[in-house]
Amino acid sequence: MNKKGFTLIELVIVIVILGILAAVAVPKFINLQSDAKKAAVSGLGGAVKSAANLVKARWMVDGGTSDNVTIEGKTVNVLGGTGYPDATANGIGSAVDYDNETFVFTNSGGATGTATFLYDNTSNCGVKYEVNSSDNTTTVTILTDGC
């Protein structure tokens, strides 16, 4: 006697195995959107740090006395004495090449204040560029708590 097909036990075992795989895999895929936002923010954080250092290097090459530098056809306002971009749209906002449909640029405090690039305008999900007004040093903070 030649039997063809699966027994009921074999089918139940396959269904159980698929259920276990789904229970393990689904939670991993649920957080992909949050992970993607965090990765985009981290990438922009690196871009902000690099842009600030490139502007400083250009300022030094140009003699270190100007209030602005030109990089790739863009004029970037710099902080006197340090050469780092200021916290305005014409400073760090101009130095960084970012997706302005994804990230919203805001400034508080003017040139020696704080610039933020927020992912979809979501608080605590973005990059903060701060200028210390007492000595014009800059700090870049990557915010991922709200992503």
Q: Is 85 exposed, middle or buried (0-12, 13-18, 19+ CB in 10 A)?
A: buried
- With respect to residue 67, please indicate whether it lies within any of the assigned structural domains: yes
Q: Which domain holds residue 41?
A: 11-143
- With respect to residue 74, please indicate whether it lies within any of the assigned structural domains: yes
Nearest 5 degrees, angle CA 56-CA 53-CA 146? Answer: 135
pLDDT at 10 over 60: yes
Q: What is the pLDDT of residues 22-70, one digit of tens each?
A: 888 777 777 788 889 999 999 999 999 999 999 999 999 999 899 999 9
Number of domains in the chain: 1
Residue with tokens 């649920």: 30
